[in-house]
Structure 1
Amino acid sequence: MKSLYAILVTISLFFAGCSSSDENTDSHGPDPEVQTSVTLQLTDANATAETKALYSNLWRIQEKGTMFGHHDDLLYGRNWITVAGRSDIKDVCGDYPGVFSVDFAEIMDDRSMTSTLNSDRIRVIKEARERGEVITACCHLNNPLTGGDSWDNSNNTVAKEILTEGSTTNIKFNSWLDKLAVFANNLKDSNGKVIPVIFRPFHEHTQTWSWWGSSAITQQEFISLWKYTIDYLKNKKQVHSFIYAISPQLDGQGTVENFLFRWPGDDYVDFLGWDSYHGTNTAAFSTNLRNLASLSQQKLKPCGVTETGVEGIVKSGAPYDTYWTNEISIPLTGKKVSMVVMWRNKYDPSHEGSHFYAPFEGHSSAANFKLLYASPNMIFSKKLPDMYTMAANTTVK
């Protein structure tokens, strides 16, 4: 029965990807092999050649499928931590994710002197780049005013203090950006080229949980903070390897306008990210994917699901062993979305908790994940094109 089920699911995925009548398929778009010329614009006109090349490929890969990613996948997994070459995803399917997501906060803030993982963060980023994978980074920064963590939204003057030149908070925040700049400009591949990163500061700004969130700072403060950060990095600190991604969180079914919440302007955003913790509300996920892809085409900016998943991979409290085909592969088929990134698998070798969002060796959804891996629209490391050479018929300014 299991083999019959696998055959049926594979057939359904094939027809989902090929049928022009399926609602997930853009039947009016060009053939993926026929590329029309396009000119894209980066926030940083002085971006490195490799950064521009990556940007061109983030746009073009949307015509071919969706890269699969996993946060901290190379740094630790459910049963291991800082093991060279290890990956929960690779353990399951024999291949690395196409996108490696990492957190830069401990490189930047007051934890930078005590973090035990920073050297390994550098190592695994370089390993991912050597395989040709894409690196993206979020930033759960501590609160520079109160000394609390990212979730400390108790003071509504943090952004104001950061933006007040010469204030204690401004000086501290700038020192954090200084450390990030040193890190970014020294993060080089085996050829001595600076490694491009899709950097998404102040993520999930639509939510109330963070000190930069919707309950703690005003719309204008958020926009000013966003612009201040980008200008400081690219103009003052000469960081030219970042692709700047905004990533609102939207869980329920929304509209295109939901992705433009506190929009800082087309000149300050390169990549349209989206954090989605919709659970198993597949209809909402599919609608929001269509809206995200539509906005991407309107603004000529690549897009992607920068965080998603169900903690513990369950449905109604029970293991959801067909999650990967039902909730990820099929909804993404035919959508022009460059990536889908699952949140992390916490290191928990005793399995006391269920804080994991991707399969690991021995997990009950592993067989279904292999079907996702085999689906033609999902792109893992081995199927990646050369992401760091300029894509054909694509100009990036």
Structure 2
Amino acid sequence: MKLSTILYAIILLSNVSCSSAEQPQANPPGDQELPEKVVLSLADKDATEKTKALYSNLWILQSKGFMFGHHDDLLYGRMWYKDQDRSDTKEIVGDYPGVYSLDFAEIMDDRHASSDLNADRKRTILEARRRGEVITACAHLNNPLTGGDSWDNSSNQVVKEIITEGSATNAKYKVWLDRLATFMGELEDAEGDLIPVIFRPYHEHTQTWSWWGSSASTSSEFIDFWKFTVDYLTKEKQVHNLIFAISPQLDGPSTTERLLFRWPGDEYVDFIGMDSYHGTNTQSLATNVSNLTALGKVKMKPVGVTETGIEGVRDNSGNEYAKYWTKEILTPILGKNISMVIVWRNKYDPGQEGFHYYGPWIQHSSAEDFKEFYNSSFTIFSKDLPDMYTMNENVVVE
């Protein structure tokens, strides 16, 4: 049975020193007031009913706790690869994450025919949906102009060329979007309805290292690129099961204004995410999540931490951080209204030659602490989820 939020907050506060401004709030999440009827708006006015239903529940869930998510959790883990029904998360707590995160890049770009994971990407999405979990996807797309990878920022012409109608790069990129449209049209649940996905393209656009980042495109080019993508998928290709999420990267303490850097406009963003590789700077995470929560209320959009973690789950001395989950994730977020926290992937590494893992792993010293994290009433895993695909009666989605 999960611990009550009050009891858990008392335990954490007795062991962790926080500034008075950022102390975790011990109020039971269910006690927070909600308007009788909330009106939300999606970028896609023709979104399917289940897409609207998911969106309504993302908003409501924020007042009850946050879903735990893990990137590629169902595809592979530290010691296994493409095993059906397996999960590094499940091996510790006997439950799957509430959010399944994966990457659509190899479905879309020039790797689409050679990837050995694309069939399993579809399989695992269907499995997650059958359990009622939430699916979200980023896209580490190769550079369509240079042929380099996602981190090839050598040209400041790529975004400009994509949004230039009739250019070779524009035509190529549309083919990539066409592949995504086809894939989204093949995702059907047990009732024959299309499965909604929270799509997070061009993530971490505040940084400089990707071909869509701040060093390789102007703000106006990026905004036009975002709008072009949304319009092409929803209007040209008639894809109506996507929720569009933006996710600036904020590692150090920042401001609400930074969350709005290169903002495409309220009518083109559905979900406000934040990628946060803050290490053990819990104050930074707490500050930025507070700003994220406040912005979500102003914009009337659900919010969440869409990527986070420490490689190897290690402390500042490079040692395994045994209390990472409760001290560095739960404590700074407890009491704040966000819908999800997603940690990055656990690379398949059966020889244990490296430390490229960010999520729970049964042989890591933090496994016991992850059980405490799981047992908090504030964390939401697969078995805790309400019906995310039936419209919440307190929300209207336009």
Q: What TM-score, normalized by structure 2, do the two folds share?
A: 0.94
Provide closer, same or farther for how the CA distance between residues 283 and 10 of structure 1 changes in structure 2, counting only shifts above 3 A.
closer
| CA deviation vs aligned residue, 1:72-119 (integer Å, no higher than 9, x gap) | 000000000000000000001110000000000000000001111000
For the residue of structure 2 that corresponds to 1:361, the secondary structure is coil
Provide closer, same or farther for how the CA distance between residues 301 and 34 of structure 1 changes in structure 2, counting only shifts above 3 A.
closer
Structure 1 counterpart of 2:360: 359
Q: Aligned AA for 2:284?
A: A
CA shift, 1:15, in A, is 8.6
Matches within 5 A, 1:61-140: 61-140=61-140
Provide closer, same or farther for how the CA distance between residues 170 and 34 of structure 1 changes in structure 2, counting only shifts above 3 A.
closer
Q: Aligned AA for 2:89?
A: I
Provide closer, same or farther for how the CA distance between residues 97 and 367 of structure 1 changes in structure 2, counting only shifts above 3 A.
same
CA RMSD of aligned residues (A): 2.0
| CA deviation vs aligned residue, 1:151-192 (integer Å, no higher than 9, x gap) | 000000001111111111011000000000000011111111
For the residue of structure 1 that corresponds to 2:198, the secondary structure is strand
Q: Aligned AA for 2:328?
A: E
Equivalenced residue count is 387
For the residue of structure 1 that corresponds to 2:238, the secondary structure is coil
Q: Aligned AA for 1:260?
A: L
Structure 2 counterpart of 1:12: 11
| CA deviation vs aligned residue, 1:266-304 (integer Å, no higher than 9, x gap) | 000000000000000000000001000000011100000
Q: Assess if the C-alpha contact under 8 Å between 2:71 and 2:100 holds in 1.
A: yes
Structure-2 separation of matches of 1:35 and 1:68: 26
Q: Aligned AA for 2:79?
A: N
Structure 1 counterpart of 2:370: 369
The farther-off stretch of 160-169 and 28-37 is 28-37
Structure 1 counterpart of 2:390: 389
Q: Assess if the C-alpha contact under 8 Å between 1:14 and 1:375 holds in 2.
A: no
Q: Assess if the C-alpha contact under 8 Å between 1:161 and 1:169 holds in 2.
A: yes
Structure 2 counterpart of 1:282: 282
Q: Assess if the C-alpha contact under 8 Å between 2:22 and 2:283 holds in 1.
A: no
Structure-2 separation of matches of 1:314 and 1:60: 34
Matches within 5 A, 1:1-397: 12-13=11-12, 23-25=23-25, 31-32=31-32, 36-315=36-315, 316-397=317-398
Structure-2 separation of matches of 1:9 and 1:306: 24
| CA deviation vs aligned residue, 1:173-218 (integer Å, no higher than 9, x gap) | 0000000000001111111110000001000000111000010000
Structure 2 unpaired stretches of 5+? 1-6
Structure-2 separation of matches of 1:150 and 1:119: 22
Structure-1 separation of matches of 2:395 and 2:164: 41
Q: Aligned AA for 2:77?
A: G
Q: Aligned AA for 2:385?
A: L
Structure-2 separation of matches of 1:264 and 1:389: 29
Q: Aligned AA for 1:258?
A: R
Structure-1 separation of matches of 2:274 and 2:22: 24
Q: Assess if the C-alpha contact under 8 Å between 1:70 and 1:342 holds in 2.
A: yes
Structure-2 separation of matches of 1:28 and 1:382: 20
Structure-2 separation of matches of 1:178 and 1:274: 27
CA shift, 1:393, in A, is 1.2
Q: Assess if the C-alpha contact under 8 Å between 2:8 and 2:376 holds in 1.
A: no
The percent of aligned pairs where both chains have the same amino acid is 62
Structure 1 unpaired stretches of 5+? 1-7
Q: Aligned AA for 2:256?
A: V
Structure-2 separation of matches of 1:296 and 1:83: 38
CA shift, 1:29, in A, is 9.2
